[in-house]
Amino acid sequence: MNKTVFSPPAMVTIPVTGSDERFAVRRIFCAGKNYADHIREMGGIDTSRPPVIFAKPADALVSDGRDVPYPRASQDVHHEVELVLALGKPLRDASEEEAGKAVWGIATGVDLTRRDLQAQAKKHGGPWTSAKAFDHSAPIGPITPLDKPFADQGGRICLSVNGEVRQDGDLGQMLWPPRRLLVYLSTLFDMKTGDLVFTGTPAGVGPVQIGDRIQARIDGTEPLPFTITATG
């Protein structure tokens, strides 16, 4: 193999509950507008359309209990707690059964969003990249491995800021439950082993400030605590 012109960056990996092994991350796909009460709080009314699909770079992940610096170039950064699916198999034009078998594990994640830049993008019909895919925009807890195929089911999904509950929903409220979402993604992309999928957020999103202590929890996963620190 030819030598590369500079050393390639290390693969991004995140911890696995109950193991010394780590999960190597390939890509991060995200679903927006997947809970009706969140669509309504953002001023939307149409809950019949497929979720909005966007992506974050793998190196936007923040794991291992690290702090999250408040991002540059925004004055309105919001928290969005989301169930994250970690794929252990590829998926292409998959069935729901195949999708359930491809979920290697699940985790709690937060889709940090520059809401001010997202509002500008929506106004001008531009992409969401600067609003969603910035550095440190994807805090994530350890991945809990599954011992059987993933089945869509309810469960509490919540987030508190400095001990005050801001988001408190149920996984069963998803308009496109995880397996159906994976089926949809597998019609758009060749989904690969190592891909993560953020599945959308329930109502209650709101701003974070420097110094805030965030605690995100989803039934069946490890809790995700992190602190917002000064802009790095």
How big is the site for Mn ion, counted in residues (CB under 5 A)? 3
Cα separations (Å) of 24 from 16, 86, 102, 169, 198?
10, 10, 15, 29, 16
Q: Does 222 bind Mn ion (CB under 5 A)?
A: no
Residue list 160-199, contact with Mn ion (CB under 5 A): none
Q: How far apart are CA 20 and CA 160, in angstroms?
A: 29
Between 80 and 195, whose beta carbon lies closer to Mn ion? 80
CB of 53 to Mn ion, least distance (A): 11
Q: Residue 86 to residues 13, 69, 150, 193, 227: CA-CA distances in angstroms?
A: 12, 25, 11, 8, 24
Of 105 and 202, which CB lies nearer to Mn ion in the complex structure?
202
Does position 111 interact with Mn ion (CB under 5 A)? The reply is: yes
Beta strands across the sheet bearing 213-218: 68-69, 224-229, 213-218, 156-161, 164-170
Nearer to Mn ion, 80 or 98 (CB): 80
Minimum distance, C-beta of residue 3 to Mn ion, in the bound complex (Å): 40
Q: Rule CB under 5 A: is residue 80 a binding residue for Mn ion?
A: yes
Among 108, 160, 199, 201, binds Mn ion (CB under 5 A): 201
Phi/psi for 151 (5° steps) reads -120, 135
- Per CB under 5 A, 137 contacts Mn ion: no
- List interacting residues with Mn ion (CB under 5 A): 80, 111, 201
